[in-house]
Amino acid sequence: MRRTKLSALARSLTLIASVAAPCLAQAADLLPPLPPEPLPPPIEVGGGWYLRGDVGVGATQVDKIVTTQVGGSLPGGYRIEQKSISDSYFAGGGVGYQFNAFLRGDISAEYRGGAHLGFTDSAFTGFVLPDGSPYKSIDNYTANLSSVVVMANGYVDLGTWYGVTPYVGGGVGSAFHHVSGFSDIGAGAASGGFGVAPEKHFTNFAWNAQAGFAYSVTPNVKLEVGYRYMNLGQAKLGTINCFNAGCNLPYSYSAKEITSHDVKIGMRWLLGGIVAPVVAEYQPEPGPLVRKY
């Protein structure tokens, strides 16, 4: 009796195992596939490089005019009566690098033109007018001044609020001056005198200090509005040679301490950007075929 029960139990276990084994195998085949590998990190293209372009106007000033008589000394009572220079315009561009969120720098070049220089000098002749006043020789001078200015600039960005970033900066470089159309027309005792000077090129140290703000038009485009103080050094105007009465010896002139208060508008195009690498779309492997009973 006992052996019969054991035999029946063994047969039951064998039957259960034969039925459960395929089900367990099917369940193992239906396990979800392994998750895909993580995507590679994004790639930065262009780094912190940017391009810039600027236009503006400058209120130009000349501190003084220095006169030298070639081969002699200035006549008695010589003086500069008045001087003036018109506003200039400028346009330029450059390339720069954003080192971090606060510090950037660039190399820029710009053309400055439209400045017309004028001044008047006078000297005693040794004669007096009927009313007893000294009889003077007077000369009126005009010239055109243009410049190419190359600068290395540095800026400190002072934080960003609602897309607006104020900044301060400065730069040093060189101003390549070009003087043209320099002429002299006499008046008073020098009436009838006329002289001209050849075109003159002169290179001089220049520097600037500036402040303004930038607005983020897009993440990669910045609009800038700023003020800049520009010191362009001096420009040699050349030597006037007279064609008729009014000159005994030629005169040479220099415009000292040329400065400008600039208002400028510019754009910066950031070349850097984050680009996700191209990866193949994940396709899970198909599971094995399962026979259903």
Tens digit of pLDDT for each residue in 93-112?
999 999 998 999 999 999 99
Residue whose structure tokens are 């262009």: 46
- pLDDT-derived band at 280, boundaries 50, 70, 90: very low
Give the pLDDT score at 195. 87
Give the pLDDT score at 278. 45
DSSP one-letter code for 234: -
Convert the pLDDT of each residue in 135-153 to its tens digit.
Answer: 788 889 999 999 999 999 9
- pLDDT-derived band at 13, boundaries 50, 70, 90: low
Dist CA 61 CA 58 (whole Å): 9
245 vs 113, residue with greater confidence: 113
Dist CA 223 CA 166 (whole Å): 12
**Displacement of CA 265 from its chain's centroid (Å):** 10
Decide if pLDDT at 166 tops 60.
Answer: yes
Contact 207, 170 (CB under 8 A): yes
Give the pLDDT score at 236. 92
- Domain chopping of the chain, boundaries: 43-223+235-273
CATH tag for 43-223+235-273 (out of 2.40.160.20, 3.40.50.720, 1.10.3720.10, 3.30.460.10): 2.40.160.20
Decide if pLDDT at 117 tops 80.
Answer: yes
Residue from 144, 145, 165, 147 nearest 156 by CA = 165
> pTM of the full predicted structure?
0.74
* Identity of the amino acid at 139: D
Residue from 55, 45, 154 nearest 96 by CA = 154
40 vs 165, residue with greater confidence: 165
245 vs 201, residue with greater confidence: 201
Give the mean pLDDT of the chain: 83
75 vs 59, residue with greater confidence: 59
DSSP E strand stretches across the chain: 43-45, 49-69, 79-85, 88-98, 103-128, 134-157, 164-188, 194-196, 200-218, 221-231, 235-242, 251-270, 273-275
Dist CA 185 CA 197 (whole Å): 12
Give the pLDDT score at 76. 79
Contact 53, 92 (CB under 8 A): yes
